[in-house]
Structure 1
Amino acid sequence: MVLEKVGFENIIRKKSAVLMLFTPVIIITVLSFMSPFNYALFKFNLFGEPSPSRFSFVLYYFVVLYASVGFLACLYNFMRYSRTLQAKEILFLGIFTLFIGVSQYYSAYSNNNLYTCVYLLSLVMYYIALHEDKVFIDPLTGLNNRNRFRRYLSYIMSSQSLRVNMYLTYIDIDNFKSINDNHGHLTGDLALRTVAEAMREISVNSKNFLARIGGDEFVIVSSHPTQTDLKAMIVRMKKCLNEKAKSNFSDFTVDFSVGTTQLNIPYSSISDVIKSADRNMYRQKQMKKQGLISDSGAVRK
């Protein structure tokens, strides 16, 4: 859960990673079932209480291993996203992961009930996290939704230093209504997920904030040294989307229009930058319909 929350979901979906993560659980389970017969992991004293046995150190080792992996993953992404809103959430999750590991190790070593209390607290925190996902995550695409987007943008706009070299890219799928009308809403949903996958793929090694804020409307908040780098990101996304659309759809293509705006505009508000990006996107969409620019965004001569 920790690895998924801090952005390592692509890694833990691999079979090799899943096997590595669950191998300690399998080993401890086997040792537990063996213990009543040969006291492998624990044995019972005269009072019927479990006490450490010859392989108890394996349990302590795996507790430290799990806690360390979770904490280091949080620490890595905290340093990576140090100037973003996610940093606070990642730091809290890392500290809580470390707290769970320490309490479990202490409880196993000294045979007390501290871990039981911490475990119940962790279940409550996990339950809250699940409900937070319902509030802030779009269920169809798995991207952030409008609520989290406005919260994130408000955080960026609140600091002059954070806004430097930051851009808002507004994305609208071209002819999405005709996709729904001619091919059905299930195909339309697949088109939305395809766009979301392309957005994720170009943002794997970056700090881009991705969100779906409407029916066929998406946004990317990203940092670029120059507008040339911003345009290069859009070109990569169009290329990625084209490749994914070809494999998912045989009788139509999926394209989008974009509008961009810089966040570091003096005296601008959240509404101002959203309207600016929306106007630029609508302008490009109209120019496409008039044949003034190509689907790639290049001006026709």
Structure 2
Amino acid sequence: MNEVLFAEIYYICVAIMLILGFKTYRSMMKNAQKVSFLAVVFLHILYFQTDLVRMTTNSQDLFLNEMCFLFFSLCTLSWFNYIQTMLGIHYVKKSQTFFSMLPLIISVVLLLVNTLNGCLFYIDQSREFQNGLLYVSYVLINDIYYIIGAYQAYIYSHGAKNYQQKKSNRILGIYMISLLLIGTIQDFFRDIPIFCVGTSLSILIVYISLEEQMISIDPLTQLNNRNRMEQYLFECVRSQDLNMYLLVLDVNRFKKINDEHGHAQGDLALKAIANCLKESCIEKSDFIARYGGDEFVIVYKGNDVEDLCQRIHDSIQKLPFPFDLDVSIGCALYHKDIHKWSDWFIEADKRLYNEKRNLKGQ
């Protein structure tokens, strides 16, 4: 194989993983997802690096081979952890944590024992790389992570609450199986270039990144949806920035609009309101989402929140609809006593309820 071509493809794979890793870190994912995803990127780069050195230098050093296999085992664990966070699975019991680490522990023990008796791989008298008696067992032990991850993704796709989440879980499971098959082929037929695994990994990361974007966007208004809102509020509370306002908006008499003018007009009204919110909140730090139904959420990091509310009211009331259109707004300033994003949301929602009640009393 042309070593120059191999090196070029290798560096392309590394560049893709670094870019997507940084992109994921900058996105509003929960901390556990960031750590798991970046661990996958970092360990695969190390895995490629050790395998690249071994192949391009034609080195038969046992220690270098063992390091490469160790990084492979760590990669499979990292993918497994990423699957857990994507599916919302969190191990609580210590026994469950131990069992999830057991394949990795066995792999490390086999690598240590291999130094003494060559049970996994060894160098024969002609200085060629040969598989040991337990090599197949080692591969299958590491494949347990992929199999369980794919199975969990399949099961959770059936129990998903919406179509987007179901599709996301299925894509995750399909590509876990793809990694399993391509990785197994690479392990048993070592003449196949390792960049096949790198290419598969890069494609998988691209699809997961696109899928995360898709399940974060509300299809009607093209605003962030509830899932993305929860992730963003989680990050806001963790940052403990005191100059943040949470606004919860609800369209006044929206049920009446749907009943008298039809749901098509109601959908057009929601789209128009979404555009008004985008125009009113023009700062990059502002966050807008559709919470559900006729409710919207804004995270405002400016100083004059009353002026923002007035701009929103004015722009919505000017919309050319054959019915009166306006929103009620509940606003809550973040403070240090708020430790969970749900507490912050409840505080703003209560103020929204009070405004709606005052509106009915008029």
- Please give the TM-score of this superposition, normalised by the length of structure 2: 0.45
After superposition, the Cα gap between the structure-2 partners of 1:121 and 1:201, relative to the gap in structure 1 and judged at 3 Å, is farther
Q: Distance in 2 between matches of 1:283 and 1:223?
A: 23
Q: Is 2:196 the partner of 1:196? A: no
Q: Distance in 2 between matches of 1:204 and 1:115?
A: 44
- Aligned position for 2:313: 238
Q: Is 2:273 the partner of 1:273? A: no
Amino acid at match of 2:287: F
Percent identity over the alignment? 37
Measure how far apart 1:214 and its partner are: 1.4
- Aligned position for 2:208: 128
Which secondary structure state, in structure 2, belongs to the residue aligned with residue 288 of structure 1?
Answer: helix
- Aligned position for 2:250: 172
CA displacement 1:154-175 (0-9 Å, x = unmatched): 111123xx33111100000000
Which secondary structure state, in structure 2, belongs to the residue aligned with residue 164 of structure 1?
Answer: coil
Q: Is 2:325 the partner of 1:254? A: yes
Which secondary structure state, in structure 2, belongs to the residue aligned with residue 254 of structure 1?
Answer: coil
Pick the aligned partner of 1:151 from 231, 235, 256: 231
Measure how far apart 1:85 and its partner are: 6.2
After superposition, the Cα gap between the structure-2 partners of 1:152 and 1:182, relative to the gap in structure 1 and judged at 3 Å, is same
* Cα contact 2:216–2:227 (8 A) shared by 1: yes
Amino acid at match of 2:209: A
Which secondary structure state, in structure 1, belongs to the residue aligned with residue 355 of structure 2?
Answer: helix
Amino acid at match of 1:240: S
Pick the aligned partner of 1:222 from 285, 300, 304: 300
- Please give the TM-score of this superposition, normalised by the length of structure 1: 0.54
Cα-Cα RMSD: 4.1
Q: Is 2:288 the partner of 1:210? A: yes
Amino acid at match of 1:264: H
Which secondary structure state, in structure 1, belongs to the residue aligned with residue 292 of structure 2?
Answer: coil
* Cα contact 2:290–2:297 (8 A) shared by 1: yes
Which of the two has greater helix per residue? 2
Divergent runs of 4+, >6 A: 113-120
Larger radius of gyration: 2
Measure how far apart 1:179 and its partner are: 0.8
Amino acid at match of 1:287: N
CA displacement 1:162-217 (0-9 Å, x = unmatched): 33111100000000001110111111111111111111112233311111111111
Amino acid at match of 1:239: D
The number of equivalent residue pairs is 201
> Equivalent residues in 2 for 1:1-301 (5 A)?
123-159=203-239, 162-224=240-302, 226=303, 229-243=304-318, 245-246=319-320, 249=321, 251-291=322-362
After superposition, the Cα gap between the structure-2 partners of 1:141 and 1:267, relative to the gap in structure 1 and judged at 3 Å, is closer
Which secondary structure state, in structure 2, belongs to the residue aligned with residue 158 of structure 1?
Answer: helix
